[in-house]
Amino acid sequence: MNYFSSDFKLGILGGGQLGKMMLTETRKFDIQTYVVDPSAEAPCQFGATKFFQGSLNDYDTVINLGNQVDVLTIEIENVNLEALETLEKEGKKVYPSPKTLRLISNKGNQKDFYALNNIPTAPYKRYKTLPALKIDVENGLVELPFVWKATEGGYDGNGVKVVRQVIDLENLPETECIAETMIPFKNELAVIVARSTSGEIKTYPVVEMEFHPEANQVEYVICPARISETVANNAREIALKVSESFNHVGLLAVEMFQTADDQILVNEVAPRPHNSGHYSIEASYTSQFEQHIRAILDLPLGNTDSKVAGIMVNLVGEEGFSGQVVYENIEKIMAIDGVTPHIYGKRETRPFRKMGHVTIVNENMTEARKVAQQVKETIRVISK
């Protein structure tokens, strides 16, 4: 198949920032892209060969896009799986496969899958309804505190809540959920695994994630993680096992906990480019976005090593600001060596909305972390 400067068309379901960063790579290789997203203002509207507005959950919208392209991929999991299954049956190449997406899109199914495949994960119980969970809590069958997770539709800290006392159950939505044992962990880690259609497989270095205490959002992603080689090797091995069990094609971001006694437990996965891999645009030989394109088109996978230490800072809307976005002091951070801002192209800001990220690269990790702190304290995402 001739992908480059040809009639080949790649379809992407979802036109958000992940799609936008994927389009940087397809444009580099001169690959035609057709993108659909519910928002007319989606970040991908400018970079795609053709951009369509439409619901990703609408059967006909997904079928229509699929029929216009040669290979179909995603930048968000919440898409119409029935349509993808139909397209795949008709011989369309869909990566990751609808089968993989079905396993991953429901967190209850995901946890059951880990248990079935002997993949280490935190103990959990699954509930069809909130009242069923409340009964078990009242009867002492679920120990407080625990982590409540909605099985579907959660993202960026939505659909996840720490239940510390019985009263916390009152504000939870009425939905299928899991109650997960709270793990005292030292670090939250992630490993991105790339797997091509012919089975070539590579892992990126282990990254460490520092979270915002209230928003349950990642504030910093640090590569390489500040952990021992033994723990890093173990994390990469477990990520490979997860990848092979899911039999996915493309990228799989495996989020993990490093426990107090250095065990690795899988938290959850995302079958697409991921926040934990944004550092790779500046810091790696092959960015995660280029790697995803290589994997789904069965091109040789690129080198996953880092050239330098990289830290990514998420740019999220400040509390108390909604409306037309202003990136205050962006020129000040751009004056610092090794600092690259990425602005996603969302015109409207609101509290904690992901609006961009900044990568800091440096030969010295300690120095990179200091600059990351400086960036975080300087730039503000506010509104007019």
- Which residues make Cβ contacts (< 8 Å) with residue 342, sequence separation at least 6? 17, 21, 278, 281, 356, 357, 358, 359
Contact 256, 234 (CB under 8 A): no
Distance of alpha carbon 306 from alpha carbon 318, whole angstroms: 31
Residue 99 annotated as part of some ligand binding site:
no
Q: Give the separation between CA 274 and CA 104, rounded to whole angstroms.
A: 14
């999220």: which residue's tokens?
A: 316
Beta carbons within 8 Å of 140's beta carbon, 6+ residues apart: none
**CA-closest candidate to residue 381, choices 310, 320, 312:** 320
- Quick count: other Cβ atoms within 10 Å of Cβ 325? 24
Which SS3 state, helix, strand or coil, does residue 206 take? coil
Q: Was 182 annotated as part of a binding site? A: yes
Structure tokens at 185: 């962990």
Q: 156: left (phi > 0), else alpha (psi -120 to 50), else beta? A: left
Encoded tokens for 73: 């991929």
3-state secondary structure of 334: helix
Report the number of secondary-structure helices (H) and strands (E) in the chain: 11, 21
Does 256 count as an annotated binding residue? no
CB 179 within 8 A of CB 264: no
Q: Is 267 annotated as a binding residue?
A: yes
218-223 and 264-270 beta bridge pairing: unpaired
Q: Is 181 annotated as a binding residue?
A: yes
* Residue of 111, 112, 168 lying closest to 145 (CA atoms): 168
129 in a labelled binding site: no
Residues paired with 110 in a beta bridge: none
Confirm whether residue 268 is marked as ligand binding: yes
Cα distance between residue 183 and residue 255, in whole Å = 14
77 is in an annotated binding site: no
Contact 65, 34 (CB under 8 A): yes
Annotation: binding site: 107, 149, 180-183, 188, 267-268
Annotation: binding site for ATP: 107, 149, 180-183, 188, 267-268
